[in-house]
Amino acid sequence: PTHVCLITDFCPGGELFAALDKQPLKIFREDSARFYAAEVVIGLEYLHCLGIIYRDLKPENILLQADGHVVLTDFDLSFLTSSKPHVIKHSTSLKRRRSQEFMPPSFVSDPSTPSNSFVGTEEYIAPEVITGAGHTSAIDWWALGILLYEMLYGRTPFRGKNRKKTFYNILHKDLTFPSSIPVRFVSSLSIKQRAEHFVM
């Protein structure tokens, strides 16, 4: 009569945040970061197929099972809408056929209705949430890019001394990659492009 209890599977590996915190320099090796990012991509794609925009991706909300695989948790900020997953087949021009270039089909699973809620953890919030524009599942891919950055560099890229400065940085600061930590895939790619490139 006095308690509401949530019963979940036990994840003996604890939070990804704690695992990251125990690493030297608080960073993962690239192969570990790639593994965790790939698993999160699979989880996000599944949620998006169901019409769920997760909206709170961060290391504290990623739990590790006994076998090292991840579980996403904490769905209190999630947004449920409709989704029509489909495959886009790219047309192959005659010129491309001659050069034997092939572009595989693309799987699209974006939930269809945007949201205007101001939600999320400040260092992971996408620019469109801060500006109040309607946001879609693209904010989950933004957060994935921030997560990748944190796993590789030990900090989030736009963190400021306070909330206001963090939001200013997200909206206006150029993304930079510390030269003191060598990473193979450092380039001028956007965070989303970087995330897609890293897990392929």
Domains located in the chain, CATH noted: 14-199 (1.10.510.10)
pTM for this prediction? 0.79
9 has catalytic annotation? no
Q: Could you tell me where the beta strands, DSSP code E, fall in 7-105? A: 14-15, 52-53, 62-64, 70-72, 79-80, 86-88
- How far is Cα 113 from Cα 110, in angstroms, rounded to an integer? 9
- How far is Cα 164 from Cα 43, in angstroms, rounded to an integer? 31
Q: For 44-79, how does the pLDDT look when each residue is reduced to its tens digit (9 = 90+)?
A: 999 998 899 999 999 999 999 999 999 999 999 998
Among residues 9, 56, 76, 110, the one annotated as catalytic is 56
> pLDDT tens digits, the chain, 200 residues: what are they?
999 998 888 999 999 999 999 998 999 999 999 999 999 999 999 999 889 999 999 999 999 999 999 999 999 999 888 777 777 787 765 555 555 567 787 777 777 677 777 878 899 999 999 998 888 888 999 999 999 999 999 999 999 999 999 999 999 999 999 888 878 754 434 444 544 444 43
Contact 154, 27 (CB under 8 A): yes
